[in-house]
């Protein structure tokens, strides 16, 4: 199987920020592009759920639950070489 290498995926609107270091993410996943695709899909689905849960916890005044969710929000992008998202999550929580 031929591995196609990319440097990054950038944010929309030609922002120079790299959202994910694809080479590093692929390296972490033993160069398995299909596994990375699946992991990114699951990440997107999980983040949508977690963000909604965090919002509900904050609205309900359950700051302990919100803090637990924020901890997860920090770890997930780090596992996929998404440093800008990891940094933002650390700022929040």
Q: Are 78 and 25 in contact, with CB atoms under 8 Å apart?
A: no
Q: Are 66 and 57 in contact, with CB atoms under 8 Å apart?
A: yes
Token digits of residue 3: 């591995």
Q: What's the predicted TM-score (pTM) here? A: 0.65
Widest Cα–Cα separation across the chain: 51
Over residues 2-21, the pLDDT tens digits come to 444 445 445 455 555 578 88
Over residues 17-64, the pLDDT tens digits come to 578 888 999 999 899 999 999 999 999 999 899 989 999 999 999 999
Token digits of residue 12: 């929309």
């Amino acid at each position: 199987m031929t591995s196609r290498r990319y440097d990054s995926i950038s944010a929309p609107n030609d922002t120079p920020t790299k959202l994910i270091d694809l080479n590093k993410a692929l390296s972490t996943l033993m160069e398995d592009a299909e596994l990375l695709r699946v992991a990114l899909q699951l990440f997107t689905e999980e983040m949508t759920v977690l963000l909604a849960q965090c919002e509900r916890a904050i609205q309900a005044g359950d700051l302990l639950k919100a803090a637990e969710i924020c901890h997860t929000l920090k770890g997930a992008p780090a596992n996929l070489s998404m440093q800008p998202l990891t940094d933002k999550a650390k700022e929040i929580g």
